Amino acid sequence: MRLRFLAWMFAIGALAMSAARAQDFPSKPIRIVTGAPGGSSDFTARLIAQGLTENLRQQVIVDNRGNVDGELVAKAPPDGYTLVIDGASIWIGPLVQKALYDPVRDFAPVTLAVSAPNVVIVQPSIPVKSIRELIALAKAQPGKLNYSSGGIGASSHLAAELFKSMAGVAIVNVNYKGTGPALNALIANEVQVMFVNPAIASPHIKSERVRALAVASLEPSPLMPDLPTVAAAGLPGFESVVLQGMFAPAGTPPARVTLLSREIAKVLNRPDVKERHFNTGVETVASTPEELVARIKSEMAKWGKVIKDAGIRPDKS
């Protein structure tokens, strides 16, 4: 009985200490690692940092990196003071080339942040105004149409490869160093097709320098309300959505992850933050840590198959 009592008292004491540590957090500045200044993840990181600083009454700083180094955050102390926000490069990058971290094992998911469906755009010189017409043209002229991508393994690349597979067409990838050059190539008629973020495409759609055919979300998107989905326009089940998520190093105390997830969700769900995101071409999608890890595993399985089937390698498009 004495041993049971001591064990019970020890357990109660451990829980009390854990709760006390959670209440003491944060006691120093929190760092959010993200991409280059001015990028989409930087914009979201700064909105979150400002809101968290107000909510937690502790400074939250943004640490900009030219390219987000997943290993840097994976190997940071698991104490909740180092976070990373980035897109699919965190979990898709290791499927394309070897990485020094495991996107599932080495991170503690905190929350999804924002999402945006890719938009299918084409060069106005080609005679297509719908997904069905694009598929028909590609089948009538196999290997004659080119699509631009902003990098091997980028969303613009993988979305087009999924399209090729599901539609049973042969269109040729022309790889560029970034989304901007890839879009410029479409405008200049060097290529005829591209999958791209709505925010990047919208000005050129309005000016009629490119033609939009459909969005790649499963449901119609308020970001592009006049466009049908690819799924409804000819390829049932087709989806290509750009996501950003927030992560901490694996081993971060669950109480701290829960607190961060809850407080970040409060920031993301503020009407002004939603509006500012919407105006840049993305929607806020705050989630629980469990929802984020489930989405990541689903995305890795889906795009891992696309990468394997297409034979995508770092030096091969």
Asked if residue 123 has pLDDT above 70, the reply is yes
Task: Write the DSSP symbol of residue 229.
Answer: B
Whole-number pLDDT of residue 317 = 45
Tokens of 271: 């009407």
Q: Which fold has domain 2-115+242-307?
A: D-Maltodextrin-Binding Protein; domain 2 (3.40.190)
Domain edges within the chain: 2-115+242-307, 119-239
* Arithmetic mean of pLDDT, 254-260: 98
Asked if residue 40 has pLDDT above 80, the reply is yes
Asked if residue 1 has pLDDT above 70, the reply is no
CB 115 within 8 A of CB 285: yes
**Residue 185 — pLDDT band, cuts 50, 70, 90?**
very high
The radius of gyration of the chain's CA atoms, rounded to the nearest angstrom, is 22
3-class secondary-structure state, position 213 = strand
Whole-number pLDDT of residue 23 = 62
* Exposure on the CB side of residue 46, measured as CA atoms within 13 A: 12
**What does the pLDDT look like over 130-152, one tens digit per residue?**
999 999 999 999 999 999 999 89
Task: Write the DSSP symbol of residue 130.
Answer: S
Whole-number pLDDT of residue 14 = 45
pTM of the model: 0.87
Asked if residue 257 has pLDDT above 80, the reply is yes
Lowest-pLDDT range of 6-20, 89-103, 149-163, 184-198: 6-20
Is the bond preceding 26 in cis, omega lying within 30 degrees of 0?
yes
**Which distant-in-sequence residues (6+ apart) come within 8 Å of 12 by Cβ?**
none
**Residue 20 — pLDDT band, cuts 50, 70, 90?**
very low
**What does the pLDDT look like over 48-88, one tens digit per residue?**
999 999 999 999 999 998 777 688 899 999 999 999 998 88
Token match 């104490």: residue?
Answer: 79
In this structure, how many other beta carbons lie within 10 angstroms of the beta carbon of residue 212?
A: 20
Place domain 119-239 in its CATH homologous superfamily: Periplasmic binding protein-like II (3.40.190.10)
